[in-house]
Amino acid sequence: MSPFIRSRLPFEDELARDMSRLSTAMFAEEIRIVGGEPLLNPRIATILKVARTSGIAGRVVLFTNGLLLHTMSKEFWSNVDEIRVNLYPRARPTERLVDQARKRAFESGAQLSIFEYSSFRVTMVTEPHPPDAITSMIFRTCKNAHFHHCHLVHRGWLYKCACPSYLGEFLTNMGQSGYQAEADGFDIHGATDLNQQLWDFLTDNKPLDACRHCLGYVGKQQAHHQLPIEDTRDARSQPITRKTHLSKTTLTKESLRYFGRRITEVLTGKSMW
């Protein structure tokens, strides 16, 4: 959704408040700072420091395209445990800048991981799915929500995935109104019994309303490309629907695996994702 919604910068006081509240009830393997491109935020070093001192996670990990790493301060490098540089066919740092980043990471004791990406799995659609069995299976096979637990914290709310927090603006720009992210989220500061209510939210098997606008892990693979500026003014210029971009083969495989896990649970009595 990035090309079709306005840029915004998160504030460290907001992050500190949300993390402080959540850290009393949960602990994550890592807290990930993502974008867009997080290095565009002039307060990124402070945000990393807040993430580290919050106690919410064992590691602080930042995702970037690497183009601005050479401009980062000593405070930035001292407050991150791992930097994951995603390299794309275009818009990538030079080898000299990558070598420089490796040196800075080594000096600060941070891990620098580099990944090459030439394709992406299509996720967001421009026309909603019906609330049917396929939409339900898109949710049930979503690894972000159920396996990786790659949840998103945004402005006082916790979401099972990144989709709900930006979906409202994305749909409004296409003339589709009515979606309310709060219906798919958890009010961090409004909970009266944080532990129990948070557990109930994360283990609820009801598909999100946002799932009607997403292909989860069963979308087709698409070669990486950059959109011309004129195509970023309206998401409808790149129509994506369940009919055109859902991979039936992937859906079948993931559905069979899902039901296999449920059968295994019954036979062994052990919970599986």
Same domain? 251 vs 130? yes
Q: Which pTM value belongs to this model?
A: 0.92
Residue finishing a domain among 86, 117, 148:
117
Same domain? 90 vs 149? no
The reported pLDDT for the residue numbered 218 is: 98
Same domain? 139 vs 244? yes
> Which one-letter amino acid corresponds to residue 3?
P
The reported pLDDT for the residue numbered 237 is: 86
Same domain? 153 vs 259? yes
Flag residues of the chain having pLDDT under 70. none
- The secondary structure element, H or E, covering residue 86 is strand 82-87
Residue finishing a domain among 57, 83, 117:
117
Dihedrals phi, psi of 154, to nearest 5 degrees? -155, 115
Report the distance separating Cα 22 and Cα 189, nearest Å: 9
29 CB contacts (<8 Å, ≥6 apart)? 57, 58, 59
pLDDT digits (tens, 9 = 90+) for 122-139: 999 999 999 999 999 999
Among 114, 127, 133, 136, which Cα is nearest to 174's? 127
Residue finishing a domain among 117, 145, 176:
117
Residue-number span of the structural domain to which 258 is assigned: 119-273
SS3 assignment, position 213: helix
Same domain? 27 vs 162? no
Place of tokens 């532990």: 195
The number of domains in the chain is: 2
The reported pLDDT for the residue numbered 270 is: 94
The reported pLDDT for the residue numbered 3 is: 84
Angle at 248 between CA 219 and CA 162, to 5 degrees: 25
Same domain? 152 vs 261? yes
Instruction: Please classify residue 64 by burial: count the beta carbons closer than 10 Å to its beta carbon, then call 0-12 exposed, 13-18 middle and 19+ buried.
Output: buried
Same domain? 41 vs 56? yes
